[in-house]
Copies of this chain bind each other. A is one copy, B any other.
């Protein structure tokens, strides 16, 4: 049925070793034999069985991609970046949605290892001891894409969440805002914490009061933004601006503002985060902190590939990609 190296060897009247050598250029073969082999290879349309290859070489051309949830636009753009780069290099992505559940993450990690994936890109809510443990034990190349694990031995890539959030808050302060709420994600998330810290520091550095009752830690999606917004806008004492942890949250918050009879940015300025495509097309266009998410993906893959190819002499890399404030329409200057 399927044509094997054996068939090629037989028809080309050489040993299977020679066929393998021709195909992999692993050892010189005389021009005559090489030609003979290649002719038969072409005729039969022979392709080495990658599974057999994996078994012996312990490399699968497979990369595990662990993410909380592809259906999140930000993440799916990230994945797209990874996949693009992998495809260019002959690798394929094994997609694993974890919901940031440690149990599932570990389950997948183990599965990936057994499938001999050549490397793993890990996007997780927080660095977890079990994961660190796993990668210390099994020397599988890995890129952490969620957090800068400063004292860790593993490579990582991300933006400076702290600074980005700091910049967002400072931007609002620069616009004259002195009462700024923060719609963030769950506090167990590393990113949430970093961004929260940046926000608080920006307030502190500029003499703006921090108010705990203006911090809402729900999730990164539209509904969370909406619910936080409805809750906040129902109060007498409202801030003039809101820093959101994602564009989706911002969209929900804007929606809530409208449903509460408030205009954006006239009555409240709302700041997003991520800069997903919708941010530039929604009404109002969302002022946001842009993350180079696609590039985050491609670069992750590049780093991982470097690590896989470099093997022993590969040195840990920690890359921080620049963020950028994109001024649009959802935030206005306060003219008091």
Chain A residues with CB under 8 Å of chain B are 47, 49-52, 54-55, 60, 62, 65, 69-73, 75-77, 79-80, 83-84, 87, 92-97, 104, 110-111, 114-116, 221-222, 226, 248, 251-252, 254-255, 258, 277-278, 281-283, 294
Q: How far is the CA of A100 from the CA of B285 in the complex (A)?
A: 30
Number of this chain's copies in the complex:
2
CB within 8 A of A80: which of B70, B87, B251? B70
Contact flag A95-B97 (CB < 8 Å), given A54-B51, A70-B79: no
Collect the chain B residues with CB atoms within 8 Å of residue A114's CB.
47, 49-51
Q: Which residue of B lies closest to A116 (CB)?
A: B51
Contact A71 B80 (CB under 8 A): yes
Residues of B within 8 A of A72 (CB): 76
* Contact A251–B282 (Cβ < 8 Å): yes
Q: A69-B80, A282-B282 are in contact. List 15 more A-B contacts (CB 8 A).
A: A50-B115, A51-B60, A70-B76, A71-B73, A71-B79, A76-B76, A80-B97, A83-B97, A87-B104, A92-B96, A92-B115, A95-B95, A222-B281, A251-B281, A255-B281
The A interface is mostly helix, strand or loop, or mixed, namely helix
- Minimum CB–CB distance from A232 to chain B (whole Å) comes to 17
B115-A51 in contact (CB<8A): yes
A69 → chain B closest CB, angstroms:
7
Residues of B within 8 A of A226 (CB): 281
Specify the chain B residue showing the minimal Cβ separation from A77: B71
A43 to chain B, nearest CB (A): 18
A283 engages B282 (CB within 8 Å): yes
Question: What are 13 residue pairs bridging A and B, where the CB atoms are less than 8 Å apart in the complex?
Answer: A49-B55, A51-B51, A70-B70, A71-B76, A72-B76, A79-B95, A80-B97, A92-B94, A93-B95, A251-B281, A251-B282, A278-B278, A283-B283
Distance (whole angstroms) from the CB of A250 to the closest CB of chain B: 10
In Å, the complex CA distance between A142 and B220 comes to: 35
Q: Write out the residue numbers on chain B whose beta carbons fall within 8 Å of the beta carbon of A277.
A: 221-222, 248
CB-based contact B283/A258 at 8 Å: yes
A110 to B50, CA, bound (A): 12
- Report the bound CA distance from A252 to B280 in whole Å: 10
Query: Within the complex, what minimum Cβ distance (angstroms) separates A148 from chain B?
Result: 25
What's the minimum C-beta distance from A79 to chain B, rounded to whole angstroms?
5
When distances are taken between beta carbons in the complex, the residues of chain B under 8 Å from A116 are 51
Whole-angstrom CA separation of A115 from B60 in the bound complex: 9
CB-based contact B92/A93 at 8 Å: no
A254: which B residues are within 8 A, CB to CB?
283
B contact residues around A111 at 8 Å (CB) = 92
Alpha-carbon distance A79/B95, docked complex (angstroms): 10
CA distance A97 to B87 in the complex (A): 9
Would B222 and A251 count as touching, CB distance under 8 A? no
Give the top 3 A-B pairs by smallest Cβ distance, nearest first. Answer: A76-B76, A71-B80, A95-B95
**A2 vs chain B, min Cβ distance (A):** 9
A73 to B73, CA, bound (A): 6
Is B97 a contact of A94 with CB atoms below 8 Å? no
Residues of B near A110 (CB, < 8 A) are 47
Smallest beta-carbon distance A272→chain B, Å: 13
